Every structure is written in C-alpha cells, then in structure tokens.
Amino acid sequence: MNSEMEKLYQAIEKAHTIVFFGGAGVSTESGIPDFRSVDGLYNQQYDYPPETILSHSFFLRHTDEFYRFYRAKMLALDAQPNAAHKKLAQWETAGKLNAVVTQNIDGLHQKAGSRKVLELHGSVLRNTCMDCGKKHDVTAISESKGLPRCECGGLIKPDVVLYEESLDNDVMDEAIRCIREADMMIIGGTSLAVYPAAGLIHYFRGNTLALINRDETPLDSRADIVVHGKIGEVFSQMP
C-alpha cells in the first residue's frame, strides 16, 4: 500500500463523521459510463451534444428525441452496486459516515444499503406527471414507448435536474449541513466540473479532505490526501 493509501487508511480509521461527495466515476465499475472521460457519454456522437439533449429547453422542444436518448443512455436499471457503494453503506451502518452527497441519478447508493443519500441531481427512479403531479416509478418510462403519459393524459417527466434547471434547495441545504459537520470529507469519482454541486466542497471545515479519482481534478492541490485510481478498488483496501 503506497503512502497516500496508508494515509487514507489511517484517516478513515480515525474519522467519526465522514461525508462522501461523489459523481459518475463511482458507478463506472458498475458498468455505467461517466460523462467526461474519453469513453464517457459526452464524448459519444449524437445529432446534438448530450448536454444539449439533457436540458430543460430541449426536453420541451424535442420531447420525443429527449426520451429516445434518455431511455437509451440514462436508465441503467440492471446495474448493481460495486465495492465503493457497498463500503460507503458499511461505514454508515458502523456510524462512521453521516451522509453520501451524490451527483448520480442511478440510485445505486440506496441499492447498496445507504440510507442518508442526498441526490443533488435527482433520481431516474422518481418521475412526476407535469399536469396532475402524480408520482410514477421508473417503469412508467422504461416500459413505455414514445412520450410517457400519466392516466390523466399529462406528460411524465423524470425527477432529474436537467441543464437550465435549479437544484432542490432543501437537498442542497442538507448537503451543506452534513459537509459542515463532517470531520473528514472524501470526494470520489467526479471531475468537479459542474456547479453548484462542485462548489459544495468549500463548506468543508474538518480535519481531512481526501480525493479519490482516476484522473486529476481542479481540487487535487487543495486535498490532504490524493489517490489516483479506481475508487472501488481503493475502497476495497480500506477499513
């Protein structure tokens, strides 16, 4: 185990209130591509850039095209939690971790057993009728074709934060509260490229900031511990 891994191991052993902040890189070892890596979603060819398709205005103007892309690329319903998700759930059960703050919408943290999961960008598992407000589970979209319709005839929209949409204030406030009270913050599997999510890190006031990411991030120089590697593999070697 190299020195950074050793430092990470010791810090986790000592910590009592860890908060985890993660992104798409936490789910790649579950077979879900991330966004900005070379093989990521945003580097594949489509008629429009994926960041355009996953926007509020595109959803309203090209709803059919949105759902074709969304069903093909955003629903990974067979994906299973990997070692990273499982370790975080274990730390929460052991009383070492107070919350997972995630940018992911795949629900894998909850599938692994995590209970306190703050989903900054929502979840594909929650969907709402734009007319009557009725809640629908993901099968209303995954098991339908064309425009998913509610019994009332209204269009069903995923509870996922699209570009041009704002994040849920209550979720943000709770994420900030958990980050503020943490004695250790572990950031993993995120390029820290998207705000306001990436800005949350600046609320951390605790002892140790650890960063586990395959590639470099803008925050590497600010972290006390930096491990460049696959987060599932790294967590497998942690207490």
Q: Which residues bind ligand APR (CB under 6 A)?
A: 23-25, 28-29, 34-37, 40, 103, 121, 189-191, 193-194, 213-215, 230-231
Q: Which is nearer to ligand APR, 26 or 141 (CB)?
A: 26
Place of tokens 């599938």: 111
Catalytic residue among 16, 121, 136, 202: 121
DSSP 131: T
> In sequence order, which residues have a C-beta less than 8 Å from that of residue 57 and are 6 or more positions away?
164
DSSP three-state, residue 33 = coil
- Cα 99 vs. chain centroid, distance in angstroms? 13
Q: Which is nearer to ligand APR, 14 or 43 (CB)?
A: 43
Q: Which is nearer to ligand APR, 52 or 93 (CB)?
A: 52
> Can you tell me the distance from the alpha carbon of 179 to that of 19, in angstroms, rounded to the nearest whole number?
6
**How many helices (H) and strands (E) are present in the chain, helices listed first?**
9, 9
Q: Which is nearer to ligand APR, 28 or 98 (CB)?
A: 28
* Cβ 36 to ligand APR shortest distance, Å: 4
Radius of gyration of the chain from Cα atoms? 18
> Can you tell me the distance from the alpha carbon of 198 to that of 213, in angstroms, rounded to the nearest whole number?
14
Q: Which is nearer to ligand APR, 210 or 231 (CB)?
A: 231
Cβ atoms < 10 Å from Cβ of 238 = 18
* Cβ 57 to ligand APR shortest distance, Å: 16
Per the annotation, the verdict on 121 as an active-site residue is: yes
The answer to whether the beta carbons of residues 15 and 21 sit under 8 Å apart is no
> Can you tell me the distance from the alpha carbon of 130 to that of 106, in angstroms, rounded to the nearest whole number?
22
> Can you tell me the distance from the alpha carbon of 238 to that of 81, in angstroms, rounded to the nearest whole number?
17
List residues with catalytic annotation: 121
